[in-house]
Chain A
Amino acid sequence: MTSPQQFLLPDVGEGLTEAEILAWSVRPGDTVEVNQIIVEVETAKAAVELPSPYAGVVSALHAEVGGSLAVGKPLITIDTGPPGESADGRATRQPEPEQAALLVGYGPQSGGAGRRRRRSAAPQHGTSLPEDRVEAGRPDQVVERPAAKPPVRKLAKDLGVDLTTVTATGPGGTITREDVREAAERTAPENVPAPDKARPAETRIPIRGVRKHTAAAMVASAFTAPHVTEFITVDVTATMRLRELIAGRREFRDLRITPLLFFARALLIALAKTPEANSSWDETAQEIVLKHYVNLGVAAATDRGLVVPNVKGADRMSLRELAQALADLTATARAGRTSPQDMTGGTITLTNVGVFGVDTGTPILNPGEAAILAVGAVRRMPWVVRDDNGDERIEPRWVTQLALSFDHRLMDGRQGSELLAGVAEILHEPGLALL
């Protein structure tokens, strides 16, 4: 008889309610030691590795990679007693799947969760286990983990080095940083040919998280709203000059004054004359909803993927307030802390593809919105300028390209062109904003 122990998902970050399983380090049948890392989970706060509280043999994993699990729910079951050892009279604890979730995820694990015997590293079940693992293409999961410190493990992971193949030269047979680097150099050229067995020709990445969300939103948008995209090339030298002037002013001293701020401002001003671009299509009610407020979405590329948080009430903000709001929004997005609330309720979107060095693109609408403006890189370009005498010459100027996509159900070419030309006009001659 064996003694199954369930490890319930703890709250690892003060008040979390769930976690997503990123990767299991063990499989049913594996022998685990106390504190051996068994799983990596991601919570709203951080990705963390969880160590096993029990020594024994894994009998079941209760969650799949990519799935979410509520705090307090069973994560893994581990048999802590080897077969035929029931005679020692140790208290056996049966799984308690219905144990209530704890407010902060810790506290008494009911029953005799006391001292447990340590076990040797040798597998107790099925001598063929190591071979099974190798066949399954996971040579890193052998029972004897090579000794290496966590930063070294991290380095190996980053360089794609399998620690079991590395020759250890460190004290006590541990693998050092240098060992990993050497191994990386040794294996790198061999890995280049495509048909190498060790390196598959394809990598399959599960679709989830931000990628999944983005994909669903883009498909919904592209196949619901008939898109039209228009382009314009504009000399923004005057805006760049204005930007320098404003950046030097005392009240803007602590803010980053970016070109994006002026593109956003120009869009907000021009939008006032084209209310159709700030509307939505209500299919159920058969109504067009004109919005008398602007929640300006700004697309941000983050480590976790594309997020589009929006600045609420952007049309009523001063330039300084808008600069602050944009700075906060991008900082929050980059830190991975954008809340769902920040991403809902947008009415129009601005996307700055120029940061990637390209001229422009054909943006796809954020679902439910009527228009999206893409801004390209601002470059020094030759431009035809006319002086006061009407003489023309070519000058180097700051030039950019804008692309506006709109929902043809809500707007026609006339409104779209009006808005795009309006934005371009203000960027070319910011003084017109005074009108």
Chain B
Amino acid sequence: MAPTETAPPETAPSDPPIQLLDRSGKLSTDDRLPLDLATVDLATLHRDMTLTRRLDTEAIALQRQGELGLWPSLRGQEAAQVGAAHALRRQDMVFPTYREHGVAWCRGLDPVALLGLFRGTTLGGWDPYAHHFNLYTLVIGAQTLHAVGYAMGLHRDDSTGTGDPDRDTAVLAFLGDGALSEGETNEAFVWAAAQNLPVVFFCQNNQWAISAPYSVQSRIPAAQRAAGYGFPGIRVDGNDVLACLAATRQALHRARSGGGPTLIEAVTYRLNAHTTADDATRYRPAAETEDWAARDPLERLEAHLRSTGAVTDDHFTDLEQRERDLAEQLRAGCRELAEPDPASPFEHTYAQIPADLRQQLREHLEFVSTGPQDGERQ
């Protein structure tokens, strides 16, 4: 019988993703992914995940209040992002998509700066070198090539395999499941493998590329693809912050030591719609979302912390206050973001402005200074 639109091709059976912290908050070990708990600061992981979620929640509210044009929510992906970010060293370079608010937070970016792009006050928002965190990339998969290019530079600068912990550097490139179907991503994988580059591809497989489910994009788990390019792939529970941390540490260590690329597939779920302009209920069954909500990454870590007594009640009380402060900082900071200078796109396109562009700039400034015309909306 001919396949129909409702019956996507069957995906190959696969092992469950590696998990160190189960949904009830119970710890276990896995020989494939060793993790020395003495090197893990659980309270800080919990703090960063909680504040990341609050940042996200507040940004959604600001969008609904007309202060932001758009916001891509990371809700449900806090463990994947915070886990991966905590494996980084200062000199490692991150290439994010537009949803890596948790990584940005852990890298120390001003959270208000994240809002600028979505308020339309900037085309970038921060200095990529200040925190070794590149600008958000909106073109799906494009950042994988930027990451590979940066890794080529590291290779040529002999910044890998020296054994000097302050010198050896790796690149961490983020991507989603949708990017796996893009040409750029496949080029990046091929090139990274061919040149044995110090890059880790961290794929948050959140199951949905806007409205396209992963099942219509691939017949095999994302991690299995790595073998075809010739580098290791590892599949972890993306809602388990410890598994994400351990896998990224292992992969970054290999990259810094000259061992080449790794693909990490963090199996997770985008609990909210693709962005605030999307309505996920039109393509996604509610039962699926509820099922994933029950595997919440924050709840399981909190359950672990409470059941083991790893932190005191003060931790939670302090955190609540920090959440409120962060929310207030975002609300006030968002409204105070400076309006962009109308000349800035012209000034930043070329090192020296060509004559015809200078003419356009003059005309543009003149046009802007006259204000809105009749019949035009502001």
| A12 and B64 contacting across the interface, CB-CB below 8 Å | yes
| A49 and B335 contacting across the interface, CB-CB below 8 Å | no
CA gap between A256 and B4 in the complex, in Å: 6
| B65 and A14 contacting across the interface, CB-CB below 8 Å | no
| B63 and A12 contacting across the interface, CB-CB below 8 Å | yes
What's the nearest-Cβ distance from chain B to residue A390, in Å? 38
The secondary structure that dominates the B interface is loop
B5's nearest neighbour on chain A, judged by CB, is A256
Question: Within residues 57 to 85 of chain B, which ones have a CB less than 8 A from any CB in chain A?
Answer: 58, 61, 63-70
1/0 contact string of A102-120 vs chain B (CB within 8 Å): 1111111100011100000
What's the nearest-Cβ distance from chain B to residue A252, in Å? 7
What's the nearest-Cβ distance from chain A to residue B270, in Å? 15
Choice from A10, A114, A336 contacting B64 with Cβ under 8 Å: A10
Stretch at the interface among B255-263, B271-279, B343-351: B271-279
| B2 and A253 contacting across the interface, CB-CB below 8 Å | yes
Check: B210 CB closer than 8 A to any chain A CB.
no
A17's nearest neighbour on chain B, judged by CB, is B377
Question: Within residues 315 to 349 of chain B, which ones have a CB less than 8 A from any CB in chain A?
Answer: 327-328, 331-332, 335-336, 339
CB neighbours of A101 from chain B (8 A): 377-378
CB neighbours of A100 from chain B (8 A): 372, 377-378
Choice from B2, B66, B289 contacting A105 with Cβ under 8 Å: B66
Q: Which residue, B2, B282, B336, has most C-beta atoms of chain A within 10 A?
A: B2
What's the nearest-Cβ distance from chain A to residue B107, in Å? 27
What's the nearest-Cβ distance from chain A to residue B368, in Å? 14
Check: B120 CB closer than 8 A to any chain A CB.
yes
What's the nearest-Cβ distance from chain B to residue A104, in Å? 5
Check: B361 CB closer than 8 A to any chain A CB.
no
CB neighbours of B332 from chain A (8 A): 114-115
A75's nearest neighbour on chain B, judged by CB, is B66
Check: B354 CB closer than 8 A to any chain A CB.
no
Check: A7 CB closer than 8 A to any chain B CB.
yes
What's the nearest-Cβ distance from chain A to residue B159, in Å? 41
CA gap between A53 and B65 in the complex, in Å: 6
| A247 and B378 contacting across the interface, CB-CB below 8 Å | no
Check: A11 CB closer than 8 A to any chain B CB.
yes
B299's nearest neighbour on chain A, judged by CB, is A171
| A10 and B66 contacting across the interface, CB-CB below 8 Å | yes
A10-B65 contact in complex given A101-B377, A252-B2, A256-B4, C-beta closer than 8 Å: yes
CA gap between A256 and B7 in the complex, in Å: 11
Check: A232 CB closer than 8 A to any chain B CB.
no
A104-B336 contact in complex given A14-B69, A253-B3, C-beta closer than 8 Å: no
Question: Within residues 32 to 82 of chain A, which ones have a CB less than 8 A from any CB in chain B?
Answer: 34-35, 45-53
Check: B23 CB closer than 8 A to any chain A CB.
no
Question: Within residues 286 to 300 of chain B, which ones have a CB less than 8 A from any CB in chain A?
Answer: 286, 289-290, 293
Q: Which residue, B5, B64, B331, B378, has most C-beta atoms of chain A within 10 A?
A: B64
Check: A8 CB closer than 8 A to any chain B CB.
yes
What's the nearest-Cβ distance from chain B to residue A111, in Å? 11
What's the nearest-Cβ distance from chain A to residue B342, in Å? 14
CA gap between A247 and B283 in the complex, in Å: 26
Question: Within residues 217 to 250 of chain B, which ones have a CB less than 8 A from any CB in chain A?
Answer: none
The number of chain B residues touching the other chain, given as a range, is 35 or more
CB neighbours of A105 from chain B (8 A): 66, 69
Check: A272 CB closer than 8 A to any chain B CB.
no
A51-B293 contact in complex given A13-B276, A106-B68, A254-B3, C-beta closer than 8 Å: no
Choice from B2, B69, B281, B283 contacting A106 with Cβ under 8 Å: B69
A51-B3 contact in complex given A46-B278, A106-B67, C-beta closer than 8 Å: no
1/0 contact string of B117-153 vs chain A (CB within 8 Å): 0011000000000000000000000000000000000
CB neighbours of A247 from chain B (8 A): 1-2
CB neighbours of B276 from chain A (8 A): 12-13, 48
Choice from B65, B69, B119, B281 contacting A50 with Cβ under 8 Å: B65
B293's nearest neighbour on chain A, judged by CB, is A151
CB neighbours of B331 from chain A (8 A): 34
A45-B2 contact in complex given A10-B65, A51-B64, C-beta closer than 8 Å: no
The number of chain A residues touching the other chain, given as a range, is 35 or more
Choice from A104, A114, A331 contacting B69 with Cβ under 8 Å: A104
CA gap between A13 and B282 in the complex, in Å: 15
What's the nearest-Cβ distance from chain B to residue A155, in Å? 8
| A114 and B335 contacting across the interface, CB-CB below 8 Å | yes
What's the nearest-Cβ distance from chain B to residue A340, in Å? 19
CA gap between A50 and B65 in the complex, in Å: 7
What's the nearest-Cβ distance from chain A to residue B26, in Å? 17
| B377 and A35 contacting across the interface, CB-CB below 8 Å | no
CA gap between A7 and B64 in the complex, in Å: 11
A46's nearest neighbour on chain B, judged by CB, is B279
Choice from B70, B119, B327, B335 contacting A14 with Cβ under 8 Å: B70
CB neighbours of B70 from chain A (8 A): 14
What's the nearest-Cβ distance from chain B to residue A95, in Å? 16
B286's nearest neighbour on chain A, judged by CB, is A154
CB neighbours of A257 from chain B (8 A): 2
CA gap between A336 and B281 in the complex, in Å: 11
B273's nearest neighbour on chain A, judged by CB, is A46
CA gap between A424 and B81 in the complex, in Å: 62
B60's nearest neighbour on chain A, judged by CB, is A51
| A102 and B377 contacting across the interface, CB-CB below 8 Å | yes
What's the nearest-Cβ distance from chain B to residue A411, in Å? 38
1/0 contact string of B49-63 vs chain A (CB within 8 Å): 000000000100101
B275's nearest neighbour on chain A, judged by CB, is A14
CA gap between A335 and B378 in the complex, in Å: 32
A103-B2 contact in complex given A12-B63, A12-B276, A34-B331, C-beta closer than 8 Å: no
CA gap between A429 and B255 in the complex, in Å: 70
| B377 and A103 contacting across the interface, CB-CB below 8 Å | yes
Choice from B61, B277, B327 contacting A45 with Cβ under 8 Å: B277
| B336 and A114 contacting across the interface, CB-CB below 8 Å | yes
| A14 and B277 contacting across the interface, CB-CB below 8 Å | yes
| B277 and A13 contacting across the interface, CB-CB below 8 Å | yes
CB neighbours of A45 from chain B (8 A): 277-279
A335-B282 contact in complex given A104-B69, A256-B5, C-beta closer than 8 Å: yes
What's the nearest-Cβ distance from chain A to residue B72, in Å? 12
| A48 and B64 contacting across the interface, CB-CB below 8 Å | yes
1/0 contact string of B170-214 vs chain A (CB within 8 Å): 000000000000000000000000000000000000000000000
| A47 and B279 contacting across the interface, CB-CB below 8 Å | yes
Q: Which residue, B61, B281, B332, has most C-beta atoms of chain A within 10 A?
A: B61
Check: A248 CB closer than 8 A to any chain B CB.
yes
CB neighbours of B119 from chain A (8 A): 106-107
16 interchain pairs (CB within 8 A)?
A10-B65, A34-B331, A46-B282, A48-B276, A51-B65, A52-B65, A100-B372, A100-B378, A101-B378, A105-B66, A106-B67, A106-B68, A151-B293, A154-B286, A256-B4, A336-B282
- Interface residues, chain B, with chain A CB atoms under 8 Å away: 1-5, 58, 61, 63-70, 119-120, 273, 276-279, 281-283, 286, 289-290, 293, 327-328, 331-332, 335-336, 339, 372, 377-378
Besides A46-B278, A114-B332, 13 other A-B contacts (C-beta < 8 A): A10-B66, A12-B63, A12-B277, A45-B279, A51-B64, A53-B65, A53-B67, A103-B378, A104-B120, A106-B68, A106-B119, A106-B120, A336-B282
Lowest 7 CB-CB distances: which A-B pairs, in order? Answer: A10-B66, A46-B279, A53-B65, A13-B277, A14-B277, A253-B2, A106-B66
